[in-house]
Structure 1
């Protein structure tokens, strides 16, 4: 009897507790559910507002980028008028980014046929590479080794384009009429010719539209030392000024010898007094501008302050900085520009205002 009563009381207590729990749970569940639903609606509303704000900011950024691109011609117009620009880039750098740089240079009034690419097989430590260079030159004035082959290439290229006057042992540089007899060129003086004045510089630079047709460049291309890319139509071939040199590097480069190709070009261009700039392009879609290791190590190899650099050269501001920096380099002013940890400023400082004195 005691056992039956115990079980009966326990059973009643269990169902009573269950009933009380159901009643209380129903009451609390409604409040909790309503509270959670209200919070969820607030979160969704805030999320929608945030997404709308992000879309607005993206639209603003897109508009600013379009404005920056459209403003480039007005910012660079005439800054490099009458000059020619040799644009060299390492294999692997994005070609579309280089096309934008070419466009900016042309908008500034400089003439260039396109891009001279360093082939990915460029390797001064390779005997096979040196043999291809020797084959391109046909006959070299000195024995080529890994120590001198790169400077020999760039010296030959710059000489062929007219940036370096050939020595008297090679040929005679003149603007007078000539008569060719075999391999000998005889200068025919013109008694009625007016001697050039110092006010009108006489350029020795070849018409850029003919660059890729020059024998040495064609041989270097045929032997996979360099690659020649024509981009669109170049600007005027009427070159009255000196040659500018732009060399573009990037972390995406697949050249065997990552730095020596461009560092040797930089040294050679600076040696002969050309306005020289080295630009660094970021990989497409990479918003980071902290990747300065490629440029920094290259500058250590060149060890010269007589050239300018531009990081993030692919950006609108980088392209404007490139043109202005080249203009200043021709005046003997150099600096570190662009967007990156090596850059001292985004753009070169504007010239001091003329006080009228």
Structure 2
């Protein structure tokens, strides 16, 4: 058996260790640790202030450049898209302020015409399956070759109808589409409330801009979680198939998205940027900002000259602006204007030469 004295020695050892710890903690160690912690807190506070200052400075520079290029917008794009036929696709009415500005800038660029095609929720909503099935049956009876091949039967009706839209816009679409057939097919989509068109249905176009709303605008807060998930999946499948087919057509095309909070981690840009299958497309963020529509048109100009890129201010953007002759030196001019208190000369001479961005 263990002797009582053994317990007594153990208890005394514990209390001695505790006493030593209290004495040291209340004396030299407390002062040393306190100083260290206070120093670390002060360092973190300084770093936080520095980061806040850097963020505010960067934000001010972005705002300055945005204002600068917005004011110069009509001059920058003048005559750069002479005679082009452009389709402007939009997936929600919340993008209308941005799309209206895009249309105005396209007019400044000299386009022959712009047709706006509104993609309606029935194109992807889980509750509209019957509507899509009826539309698809009618399309197959008119011109089945306009639909993408699906030998394994893996594509949903939404995916097939979404992928059909870029084919209707492309002048060299498969299936020998005549203008009459194209008009019929557009009418099928219109009659089933899958799209609406401002003006006459297009026969074919030279370029496309896809204007995408912020994810929260495309959601329905009243839906339960399961239905909301199905809606989000349907929307993503529709966008992916439409944009994938658009990339395959070879039409100059730009995906322009609203990015509230400068966040592109959700929504269509997350799908397109970084995926090699969409490399043929250009992307721009900031559609909701004053300079966002101009970014879209500048990217389309670059596309028409054979270039592409990801532009804007979100973390996955490659550059602030397309590297065009028309945009050369803009950031430096904006910085100079800011340094001069806004009194610097804002005029610029647009280049009369084209070139890859």
- Give the match for residue 271 of structure 2: 298
Q: How many residues align?
A: 243
Among 209, 223, 233, which residue is 2:192 paired with? 223
- Give the match for residue 134 of structure 2: 132
Q: How far apart are the structure 2 equivalents of 1:136 and 1:302? A: 34
Among 215, 218, 232, which residue is 1:253 paired with? 218
Query: What's the C-alpha RMSD, in Å, of the aligned pairs?
Result: 3.8
- Give the match for residue 273 of structure 1: 250
Q: How far apart are the structure 2 equivalents of 1:136 and 1:304? A: 30
State TM-score, norm by structure 2: 0.57
Contact 1:118 1:261 in 2 (8 A): no
SS of match in other structure, 1:325: helix
Please give the residue correspondences for 1:142-221 in structure 2 after superposition, counting only pairs within 5 Å.
147=155, 149-150=157-158, 152-154=160-162, 156-167=164-175, 170=176, 214-221=183-190
CA shift, 1:312, in A, is: 0.6
Moved over 6 A (4+): none
Change (3 A) 1:340 1:297: closer
State TM-score, norm by structure 1: 0.57
- Give the match for residue 341 of structure 2: none
Contact 1:325 1:348 in 2 (8 A): yes
CA shift, 1:243, in A, is: 1.6
Residue ranges of structure 1 left out of the alignment (5+ in a row): 1-60, 174-205, 232-236
CA shift, 1:68, in A, is: 5.0
Residue 328, structure 1, aligned to residue 291, structure 2 = no
Contact 1:266 1:276 in 2 (8 A): no
Q: Deviations over 1:186-237 (max 9, x none)?
A: xxxxxxxxxxxxxxxxxxxx7xxx99x9222122111011122349xxxxx9
Change (3 A) 1:227 1:289: same
Q: How far apart are the structure 1 equivalents of 2:205 and 2:123? A: 28
- Give the match for residue 206 of structure 2: 243
Q: How far apart are the structure 1 equivalents of 2:91 and 2:311? A: 20
CA shift, 1:316, in A, is: 3.7
Contact 1:79 1:324 in 2 (8 A): no
- Give the match for residue 24 of structure 2: none
Contact 1:132 1:225 in 2 (8 A): no
CA shift, 1:335, in A, is: 0.8
SS of match in other structure, 2:240: helix
Q: Deviations over 1:93-115 (max 9, x none)?
A: 33222211222222212244442
Q: How far apart are the structure 1 equivalents of 2:264 and 2:87? A: 25
SS of match in other structure, 1:214: helix
Change (3 A) 1:154 1:311: same
SS of match in other structure, 2:135: helix
- Give the match for residue 54 of structure 1: none
Residue 344, structure 1, aligned to residue 346, structure 2 = no
CA shift, 1:262, in A, is: 2.2
CA shift, 1:160, in A, is: 3.7
Change (3 A) 1:165 1:104: same
Residue 86, structure 1, aligned to residue 94, structure 2 = no
CA shift, 1:74, in A, is: 0.7
Q: Deviations over 1:314-341 (max 9, x none)?
A: 4343222212211222333211102322
Q: Considering fraction of residues, name the structure with more helix.
A: 2
- Give the match for residue 286 of structure 2: 312
Q: Deviations over 1:117-158 (max 9, x none)?
A: 111122286641431322542516379866154554355434
Q: How far apart are the structure 2 equivalents of 1:94 and 1:295? A: 14
Contact 1:116 1:229 in 2 (8 A): yes
Contact 2:89 2:209 in 1 (8 A): yes
- Give the match for residue 96 of structure 1: 97
SS of match in other structure, 1:215: helix
Specify the structure having the higher radius of gyration (Cα): 1
